[in-house]
Amino acid sequence: MNNDELVVSVLENSNYDEVSPTLTEFVRTYIEKLVTDISLYVDSSIVVEDITTVEKYKASQELSQDITGIPSAYSAIDGEPDVLTEFAEQYSKLGIDSFDALAKEALLDFLNLHNGLFIVLLSKLNICELSLDPPRQNEYLDITTEVNGKITIIPVRFSFGVVKFLLYELPGSKTS
């Protein structure tokens, strides 16, 4: 199975088809590219659990990056520290074994790589030209969406646990 077939299979075995009519083209493309990039650069044995949308999200740390332009969006990565640590190690192969500064660097490096490849894809498809702000980390994450705003949560299950990816397409900046 090549990577494209793998991505199709992973998404077919999730609720992606069911929820995709409620998502914008931007969010759908983000999810498809995310699955592609995880399978290419982290682990191809993954399951996408139920994709949901929420209006608020809180976490004990913030590992995030803003996608800027029209549309603009907020992206983040979250999960249990031991799971994020293993994700960081699978991605970086640097011998990371604790949720320390290097683990957070690796997580943000993956987020930056994926977001970069995502906006390159949008550019190649002549959908839009976007940019990125530098990734950031803080001790707490507390997002409350604006009116009509929704945060899409994409939980990805690995053999070592679930990593959640968040995407909040900012209201008023939507293309579709």
The reply to whether 116 sits near another protein by the rule CB under 8 A is: yes
The reply to whether 39 sits near another protein by the rule CB under 8 A is: no
What residues from 79 to 98 belong to the interface with another protein (CB under 8 A)?
A: 92, 94
Binding residues for another protein, rule CB under 8 A, total 24
Task: Give a three-class secondary structure readout of the chain.
Answer: CCHHHHHHHHHHCCCHHHHHHHCCHHHHHHHHHHHHHHHHHCCCCCEECCCEEECEEEECCEEEEEEECCCCEEEEEEECHHHHHHHHHHHHCCCCCCCCHHHHHHHHHHHHHHHHHHHHHHHHCCCCCCEECCCEEECCEEEECCCCCCEEEEEEEECCEEEEEEEEECCCCCCC
The reply to whether 131 sits near another protein by the rule CB under 8 A is: yes
Piece of 25-33, 43-51, 117-125, 168-176 that binds another protein (CB under 8 A): 117-125
The reply to whether 59 sits near another protein by the rule CB under 8 A is: no
The reply to whether 100 sits near another protein by the rule CB under 8 A is: no
Residues within the interface to another protein (CB under 8 A):
41, 92, 94, 102, 105-106, 108-109, 112-113, 115-117, 119-120, 122-124, 129-134
